[in-house]
Amino acid sequence: MRNIFQSLIDWIDKRWPLSALIRLSFEEEISGGPSYAYVFGSATFIIFLLQAVTGICQLFYYVPTTDHAYVSLNYFRIQIPFGWLIHSLHYWGASTMVILVGLHMCQVFIWGAYKHPRQLTWLIGVANLLIILGISFTGPTLHWDELGYWAAEVGTSIAGTVPIVGDIAKRLLRGGETMGQLTLSRFFILHIAILSAILMGLIGTHLFAFRRFGVSGPWDERKRKRIGNFWPDQVLIDTITVTLLLFILIGLSVYAPAPIEGPADPLDTSYVP
């Protein structure tokens, strides 16, 4: 089996720089040595992949219209095998991704990793956070349930209070004065196409910038003198962390699944968003 696997790698290597790409991805020295303080970036990337996979699975059944969005999503959650699990993983993964990015940026800031020559890496990270928040805002509206509808109603109303450009921003997001099909269509395009595509590009740029200058290491100069390897030491720590995180997400999905609100009712003034 090992010989077959090695033969496959050799065959690919002669036609594409697979070994060079693997070395570029894993052969890296870590200032201060492997640490659990470095897991936030890797964990965020894995959760992003989880969000992409679970989101694509739902797209096979989701219908982005005001009269079918809620029904199609409920069909996926109730009728499709493990649809409830996929949807709940996507639900909890969204919150987890925001938390991980926040922790990652706190760790980078406290350790001073935003300073020269890593300013661009830091700015791209800030842009990643803003795009992730945008994706988290547009996602719930796609359910077109009470929570999603009123969240968008409140959010776009807040955007409308911005001086000068507020009214234009609200109209662009809603597709008009009131919430309706154009609102759902625009949030759908923003969520799965525009913002997601921008995020993928920013993540790639962020990883490239990070590999250019590497890990800054702890703020203690004495600890920085210790050098470790990304492979296999840091990879093992990242794998343990991500595995534990996935178990937590599965546990939340099983015992606290994503809430199912009733269909959106614009006339329901009693709902508290």
Alpha carbons 228 and 29: distance in angstroms, whole number: 6
pLDDT in tens, 15-31: 777 777 776 667 777 77
What's the mean pLDDT when you consider all of the chain?
A: 90
Give the CA radius of gyration of the chain. Answer: 22
Q: What is the pLDDT, as a whole number, of residue 240?
A: 95
Total domain count, the chain: 1
Per-residue pLDDT at 223 exceeds 70: no
223 found inside a domain = yes
Token pair, residue 245, equals 């995180």
Closest C-alpha among 22, 27, 38 to residue 104: 38
pTM for the predicted model, two decimal places: 0.90
Could you give the residue ranges of the DSSP H alpha helices within 145-220?
146-159, 166-174, 181-189, 195-213
Residue 5 lies in a domain: no
pLDDT at position 260 is 83
In a domain, 82, yes or no: yes
Q: Is residue 265 included in any domain, yes or no?
A: no
Given this model, what pLDDT does residue 219 score?
66
* Closest alpha carbon to 153 in 71, 268, 68: 268
What pLDDT digit, counting tens, does each position of 55-107 carry? 999 999 999 999 999 999 999 999 999 999 999 999 999 999 999 999 999 98
pLDDT tens, 163-189?
999 999 999 999 999 999 999 999 999
- pLDDT at residue 1, rounded to an integer: 62
User: Could you report the per-residue pLDDT of 114-168, keeping only the tens digit for each?
Assistant: 888 889 999 999 999 999 999 999 999 999 999 999 999 999 999 999 999 999 9
Residue 129 burial (CB count, 10 A): 15
User: Is residue 13, in this structure, part of any structural domain at all?
Assistant: no
Most confident of 34-43, 153-162, 229-238: 153-162
Q: Is 1 part of a structural domain of the chain?
A: no
pLDDT at residue 32 is higher than 90 = no
What is the CATH number for 213?
1.20.810.10
Percentage of the chain with pLDDT > 70? 95
Residues counted in the chain: 273
Judged against a pLDDT cut of 70, whether residue 224 lies above it is answered with no
The whole-number pLDDT of residue 6 equals 78
For residue 98, being part of any structural domain is answered with yes
- Structural domain of 251: 37-255
Tokens representing 260?
Answer: 């199912």
Q: At 185, list the tokens.
A: 């269509």
Q: What is the pLDDT of residue 58?
A: 97
What are the distances in angstroms from CA 255 to CA 36, 84, 89, 135? Answer: 28, 12, 12, 25
Tokens of 161: 């209070």
Give a yes or no: residue 182 inside a domain: yes
